Amino acid sequence: MVCFVYALYSLSRDYIYVGLSNNTDRRIDEHQRGKEPTTRPYRPFEVLLIEPYADRPAARKREKFLKSGAGKEFLRELRASIQTYPGGGIGRRAGLKHQ
For residue 21, what is the DSSP state? E
Domains of the chain plus CATH, in order, are 3-94 (3.40.1440)
Average pLDDT over the chain reads 87
Q: Sign of the CA dihedral 29, 32, 33, 36?
A: positive
Q: Which amino acid is at 83?
A: Q
**H-state helical runs in 14-68:** 24-32, 56-67
State pLDDT tens for residues 29-76: 999 999 999 999 999 999 999 999 999 999 999 999 999 999 999 999
Can you tell me the distance from the alpha carbon of 69 to that of 82, in angstroms, rounded to the nearest whole number? 20
Q: Which of 9-13, 32-36, 82-86 has the lowest mean pLDDT?
A: 82-86
**Structure pTM?**
0.83
Q: Which residues of 3-36 are buried (b: 16+ CB within 10 A; e: fewer)?
A: bbbbbbbbeeeeebbbbbbeebeebbeebeeeee
Whether 27 contacts 12, CB under 8 Å: no
